[in-house]
A and B are shown apart, each in its own frame.
Chain A
Amino acid sequence: MLENIRLSFQGIWSHKMRSFLTMLGIIIGIAAIIAIVSTIKGTNEQIKQNLIGAGDNSVTVQLHQGEGAYEMDYNGIPDGVPVITNDVLEQIREIDVVKEATLFVSRNTYNTIYHQSVGMSGGSLYGVDREYFDVCNYLIRSGRGFDEKDYSQFRKVAILDKESAETLFPGEDPMGKTIEIKQEPFVVIGIVEKSSKFEPVINSMEDYQMYNQGGGGKVYVPSAVWPALYGYDEPQKLVLTVNKTEDMTAAGKQSEEILNSYLSVSDDTIQYKAIDLLKQAKDIQDLSQSTNSMLIWIAGISLLVGGIGVMNIMLVSVTERTQEIGLKKAIGARKSKVLGQFLTEAAVLTSLGGLIGVIVGIILAEVISKLTGTLVAISVPAAVGAVVFSMIIGIVFGLLPSYKAANLNPIEALRHE
């Protein structure tokens, strides 16, 4: 075997130009695949980094109807959805991987919040408990957070985030000013900001939509005053945090189960579901993976063409070396020996092509990364797989020529000119 490999290298070396041209098909195919795989892996890595960059590892669990979020504005408060009590919240806090958890209510708002004549056309309104800002990693940038008295005395106070502050108070300090929410006056007591700056890398429209969902600014009021705006016993949402990003999905699942066990809805499509960014990221990754796997198939065609090139050259080589094969068979080489020799040669040729292809592919990926600014991650399993796959191509396409060589009649082969 080792002897065969040594002979194969000798053969390849003695026909450098021909061997290189034969390998070219394999080199191009493998290089394309490695470049694509590295780019996919880089993109996925980027999506993940963007999410971990969000830094909050938070999962929101809220009522869904079917696949979409339950629409309070159109459907009203559903029957059979009990208020989540502190006991239930405690159960969720006791889940191993859960760090913190808090309840809130929220609505998307359309022209609901005004400061004098300046309104917010979009955005959302949150009714939150005191610990909400801690759980969700917000910092009070100015003013104060909600205190106990805000809740016990049902004070109409509001906290803005940076975006809503800029929308409602362009060029003004909002502190102490009054805004109107559903015609009710609320005094702005603070401005919050996410503690970890999350700056996602945005390359496409899809990325933009993903990272800017729920945009348009947020306004927070104490949950105690929510009934004055929208009514009592509105289904709450749960937000929980975990220490490790990979625990997000598990924590979400377990809390879903706890919350759903208290439901007694007639429409069983109404269920609590966790919205976790990790899962969303995976969905996006799957999507990009499926489009890119198409590209891999297309690159695979060039491997097929390369394989046919190898077969062609091997057939030429068998014809050229008919005398040699004849001699070997005459002096006692079995068919299997001859077969093995030619198969090894084909496999060595394509493996070498694969190896060069991997190197070219990595260089290509780096160049793409430099030109487009996307992240590129080299996949070691893909590189190893590519070389092994090239070897298999050599064996498959070398089979016919090798079989032809092994079955030559030694008398005729020796006489061949």
Chain B
Amino acid sequence: MILDLQHIYKDYQQEKLVVPVLKDVSLQVEEGEYVAIMGPSGSGKTTLMNIIGCLDRPTSGTFELAGENILKYKDKDMSNVRLKSIGFVFQSFHLLPRQSALDNVALPLSYAGVKKKERRERATRALERVGLGDRVSFKPTQLSGGQKQRVAIARAMVNNPKILLADEPTGALDQKSGKQIMELFETLNEEGVTIVMITHDRAIASHAKRVVNIIDGEITEEGAKEVQDE
């Protein structure tokens, strides 16, 4: 089991009001799965993703990542978990504008203390894997939206994380580019990468093998892709 969340609660303090965002959420993800977490805005899906991504801590509940109780970790060790075990893909790519595609992809490797030569090799391979082997020295401004997102995916994959976490990965893309990204995700998943994707878009969610619906901070239904297709 890669992800095991049990009875997760998350409250936010808003002035004097305590606003519950997640209410008793439990979720398990096996290795090699491709899961979409779907819900409208305000449903708590982003909060759930932040917790899975070790960017935020739940108010209560347990969370094990690959069998490790993550919640007992200190902030410094949390950074390390994000670096080694999780690959992030964001809606708005978040590439460093002045750095080449290669340097952007190599960034997590430098935090992991990988030597310069190996960084270049591994970053080049990661770019080749997402089909951008011929764009290594391009700056983000010279790339299309779809290409930028692929650079971001290469960056997420470069440290060989246990799980690829994508937040609305197609939200800023046109339909054609979005489709290409979805195809890339499917390929990566076939190669054995565990993917958790957050989206409000039913069509995008349908690419996943399993869809988890979240509404008002509660998981309402959970079904295999086949069920969704019907």
Question: Considering the chains assembled together, what is the distance between the CA atoms of A334 and B56 in angstroms?
Answer: 15
Q: Mark A129-173, 1 if CB is under 8 A from B, else 0.
A: 000000000000000000000000000000000000000000000
B224: interface (CB < 8 Å): no
Question: Considering the chains assembled together, what is the distance between the CA atoms of A414 and B90 in angstroms?
Answer: 9
Question: Considering the chains assembled together, what is the distance between the CA atoms of A74 and B184 in angstroms?
Answer: 109
A3: interface (CB < 8 Å): yes
Q: Which residues of A contact B21 (CB under 8 A)?
A: none
Chain B, range 108-151, C-beta contacts under 8 Å to A:
108, 110-112
B80: interface (CB < 8 Å): yes
A392: interface (CB < 8 Å): no
- Asked if B96 contacts A333 (CB within 8 A), the reply is no
Question: Considering the chains assembled together, what is the distance between the CA atoms of A334 and B113 in angstroms?
Answer: 12
B98: interface (CB < 8 Å): yes
- Asked if A333 contacts B56 (CB within 8 A), the reply is no
Q: How far is the CB of A11 from chain B (nearest CB, A)?
A: 8
Q: How far is the CB of B153 from chain A (nearest CB, A)?
A: 13
- Asked if B112 contacts A332 (CB within 8 A), the reply is yes
B84: interface (CB < 8 Å): yes
Interface size class of A (residues with CB under 8 A): 10 to 19
- Asked if A10 contacts B90 (CB within 8 A), the reply is no
Binds B, one of A59-67, A279-287, A323-331, A348-356: A323-331
Chain B, range 69-83, C-beta contacts under 8 Å to A:
75-76, 79-80, 82-83
- Asked if A331 contacts B98 (CB within 8 A), the reply is no
Chain A, range 309-343, C-beta contacts under 8 Å to B:
323-324, 326-335, 337
Q: Which residues of A contact B63 (CB under 8 A)?
A: none
- Asked if A323 contacts B79 (CB within 8 A), the reply is no
Interface size class of B (residues with CB under 8 A): 20 to 34
On whether A14 and B98 interact (CB within 8 A), knowing A331-B88, A331-B155, the answer reads yes
Closest to A321 in B: B96
Interface of B is mostly: helix
- Asked if A331 contacts B76 (CB within 8 A), the reply is no
Question: Considering the chains assembled together, what is the distance between the CA atoms of A197 and B155 in angstroms?
Answer: 79
Q: In the complex, which of the residues A331, A332, A335, A411 contacts B50, with contact meaning CB atoms closer than 8 Å? A: A411
Question: Considering the chains assembled together, what is the distance between the CA atoms of A212 and B111 in angstroms?
Answer: 71
- Asked if A332 contacts B55 (CB within 8 A), the reply is no
Closest to A332 in B: B83
- Asked if B56 contacts A332 (CB within 8 A), the reply is no
Q: In the complex, which of the residues A324, A334, A410, A411 contacts B76, with contact meaning CB atoms closer than 8 Å? A: A334
Q: Which residues of A contact B88 (CB under 8 A)?
A: 330-331
Question: Considering the chains assembled together, what is the distance between the CA atoms of A163 and B107 in angstroms?
Answer: 83
Q: Mark B83-113, 1 if CB is under 8 A from A, else 0.
A: 1100010100010101000000001101110
Q: In the complex, which of the residues A10, A323, A324, A331 contacts B82, with contact meaning CB atoms closer than 8 Å? A: A331
Q: Which residues of A contact B217 (CB under 8 A)?
A: none
Q: Which residues of A contact B98 (CB under 8 A)?
A: 10, 14
Closest to A11 in B: B98
Q: How far is the CB of B201 from chain A (nearest CB, A)?
A: 20
B53: interface (CB < 8 Å): yes
Closest to B47 in A: A411
- Asked if A337 contacts B82 (CB within 8 A), the reply is no
- Asked if B96 contacts A324 (CB within 8 A), the reply is yes
- Asked if A327 contacts B110 (CB within 8 A), the reply is no
- Asked if B94 contacts A414 (CB within 8 A), the reply is yes
- Asked if B79 contacts A332 (CB within 8 A), the reply is yes
Question: Considering the chains assembled together, what is the distance between the CA atoms of A164 and B82 in angstroms?
Answer: 94
- Asked if A333 contacts B55 (CB within 8 A), the reply is no
Q: Which residues of B contact A324 (CB under 8 A)?
A: 94, 96
Q: Which residues of B contact A327 (CB under 8 A)?
A: 90, 94, 96
Question: Considering the chains assembled together, what is the distance between the CA atoms of A34 and B55 in angstroms?
Answer: 50
Q: In the complex, which of the residues A14, A331, A411 contacts B56, with contact meaning CB atoms closer than 8 Å? A: A411
- Asked if A332 contacts B90 (CB within 8 A), the reply is no
24 pairs, CB–CB < 8 Å, chain A vs chain B: A10-B98, A324-B96, A326-B94, A327-B96, A329-B79, A330-B53, A330-B82, A331-B83, A331-B111, A331-B156, A332-B84, A332-B108, A332-B111, A332-B112, A333-B79, A334-B76, A334-B111, A335-B75, A335-B76, A335-B79, A410-B55, A411-B55, A411-B56, A414-B94
Besides the known contacts A10-B98, A324-B94, A414-B90, 4 further A-B residue pairs in the complex with CB atoms under 8 A apart: A331-B155, A334-B111, A335-B79, A411-B50
Which residues in B have some Cβ–Cβ distance to A below 8 Å? Answer: 50, 53, 55-56, 75-76, 79-80, 82-84, 88, 90, 94, 96, 98, 107-108, 110-112, 155-156, 159
Which residues in A have some Cβ–Cβ distance to B below 8 Å? Answer: 3, 10, 14, 323-324, 326-335, 337, 410-411, 414
